[in-house]
Amino acid sequence: MSVVEEIDLPVIGMTCTACARHIENRLNSLPGVQASVNYATESAHVAMPPGTTVDVLVEAVRAAGYDAVAPDSGVSIEEAAAAEVRATRLHFWVSLAFAIPVSLLSMIAALQFTGWQWVVLALAVPVVTWGAWPFHRATWLNLRHGTATMDTLISMGVTAAFLWSAWAVLLGGAGSLDYHGAHGLGSMGDAMELPALYFEVAAAVPVFVLAGRWFEARAKRRSSSAIRALLTLQIADATVLVDGVEQLVPLARLRVGDHFIARPGERIATDGEVVAGESAVDEALLTGESVPIAVAPGSRVVGATINLDGRLEVRATGVGADTRIAQIAQLVTAAQSGKAPIQRLADRVSAVFVPAVLAAALLTLALWLVTGHPAQQAFSAAVAVLIIACPCALGLATPIALLVGTGRGAQLGIVIRGPETLEQSRRVTTVLLDKTGTVTTGQVQVRQVLPAPGLNTGAVLDAAGPIEAYSEHPLARAIAGQPHVQAQVSEFRSHPGRGAQGQVDGRAIVVGSPSWVIEHATSPGVDDWFAPAVQQAQREGLAQVGVSRDGRIIGLITLADSVRGSSAQAVRALVDMGIEPILLTGDSAIVGRVVADEVGIAQVIAEVRPEGKVAMVQEHQAAGRVVAMVGDGVNDAAALVQADLGIAMSAGSDVAIEASDITLVRNDLLAAVDALRLSRRTLRTIRGNLFWAFAYNVAMIPLAAIGLLSPLLAGAAMAFSSVFVVANSLRLRRFQPIAPVRS
């Protein structure tokens, strides 16, 4: 049986889902090749038989009019994407440099000199050809697939405006040295009127749209950035025991069954089972929970989690692709691959508008010829239809609104990735909220100090505080931060995973897990108050730390993550917007329920791992809901990508930030609500801009078709349309958050 090799081939240059289908068909036409091309991830997953090389696949993609990056080419997809961004930026700046004098000379009569129209013609050529080449290329590719997008409209309008203007200068009389033109076409009934020039339209439209494309391209590489950030969590080398001797080896050489060492403060090299040692391990990476997990021989540990306070000897049980961190990376990739790409709103409108304009131009040409008019007048009227359809205001509609909206968002601590984010925000019906670090602060704090009968809370903290000040454990730091007397500590000993003990002013103090403190207690009466207090704290989902002095248990300290002060208000705001909030947590159902009740969330889904969060997003999506996910941890990354809209807290992991559509610089759940509100407002503005931009074109086309479009009317309408789009977009600067935001 032949072995089939599978590879992921990055594809560059796709502009729509039709491009993906075209490449997929071309690859599948190769003998024995099965390919699936994903427009969202810009990659092709290819299964190829023996004898088929990657070069053959790359050539097939290039033959289809696109480009691909071979895995062994030495060029990474990140480098290729960066090159694409640089190319867009170069096209923008060069086009802008030529478009500014073209627009000034064309629109300001005081600047026009003898023969100015010839200078404008020469300056417009680089913009229309090289500057607008990305639109011409995309138009050609789309036409081969039988589709029309925003690129088609841009290319068609720019080409028509330039060709008409060039004809007018070269052959139509507008090249005379005393010519002073105006916007618009003269009435077809007045044969003596010279044709107007549209060089400024042909030069300005590509600049507007290139600015928007450059803005989008900078935030395009989401999924690969998230996976890169995941992989950086893994350490490069592991300390392996070889015949009892510690040796530092590259992580790639670690094998299942090897014994390795995890020192205090280090990340654990890979998944494994503790063979020797006790410690507390911070598993917030996977669970999102801030309370560390005590581990001892026989306990399972996960690679990339942090060993806090004890030396561990671990036997590797999973390496490479079999580790939990690698599985999370696979979840992120799978979620991104399965996420349906969003076609731009302008593209959807253009798919109808472009064929309609072409049909109107052809119909205009036919009617003028049938009614006996000269061919030149018939052609002029047809070209007038194409020129008036040129999307000058349309080119401004999305980038200007997006620029103003995202700028206002940045002022409020909200970073929006791109226009597809806005399009999803308006349809969100359900928000899944990660508990730790999102609804809560993610920091353990003392919830309650319960003293033994006859004592007060001060006595408990005065005993525990000095001991805990010597420990780096998160629970110890929280207790040490409470008010207590400063006392001399001697004979301090730490017991990883259990607690610590020492002498405080000559008295023996033991601080740690309740069961361990009970072991060291010599005085009776534990069952009278201590055991019931521990059981009550367990029912409430609180972490517990017992304190004994001279063998007598003197107190119980309970700790928990604290709820953010604004979370309850944010939840109420979501409900008022018609969005259902659901709490997700890797913690117990008891802890989740306590937090949910405090902020007013009805539904809680507890004890969920990263794959469980993805499954919950998929389950709600399958039920027809549009899901937003708000999180901050590595364990949220795949769910953030799978969700229709991913929102990450900036104080969280880099992985979560890279995987999200919106990043909240303000670590406040109200910022998530403001992000949804601002996104919806910006999208409404873009829709309004597009409506008026197209309405202008639609209204002017009949006038151009019947030859009644005067230069004055065309110029005024075009200017008004662009000014309206800009003014409407600037209204977003007045957007106000729910709560005041500090600078």
Integer Cα distance of 743 and 741 in angstroms: 6
Alpha-carbon Rg for the chain in angstroms: 33
DSSP-derived 3-state class of residue 270 = coil
Q: How far is CA 527 from CA 33, 459, 533, 535, in A?
A: 71, 21, 9, 11
Integer Cα distance of 640 and 431 in angstroms: 11
Measured in whole angstroms, the distance separating CA 505 from the mean position of its chain's CA atoms is 55
Report the DSSP pairing between strands 293-295 and 279-282.
antiparallel
The residues annotated with a catalytic role in the active site are 434
H or E segment and range at residue 33: none
Nearest by Cα to 553 from 582, 584, 517, 602:
517
Integer Cα distance of 609 and 552 in angstroms: 40
Burial class of 600 by CB neighbour count within 10 A (0 to 12, 13 to 18, 19+): middle
Burial class of 34 by CB neighbour count within 10 A (0 to 12, 13 to 18, 19+): middle
Structure tokens at 358: 């072409």
Do residues 48 and 71 touch, judged by C-beta distance below 8 A?
A: no
Integer Cα distance of 591 and 604 in angstroms: 10
Do residues 614 and 331 touch, judged by C-beta distance below 8 A?
A: yes
User: DSSP letter string over 168-202?
Assistant: HHHTSSTTSTT----SS---TT-TTSPPP--HHHH
Residue 133, by phi and psi: left (phi above 0), alpha (psi -120 to 50) or beta? alpha
User: Which residues share a beta bridge with 603?
Assistant: 582
DSSP-derived 3-state class of residue 423 = helix
For the sheet with 67-68, list strands across it.
34-38, 43-48, 5-12, 67-68
Structure tokens at 473: 């454990």
Residue 230: CA count within 13 A, CB half-sphere: 26
Structure tokens at 485: 């007397």
Structure tokens at 329: 């990376």
DSSP-derived 3-state class of residue 386 = helix
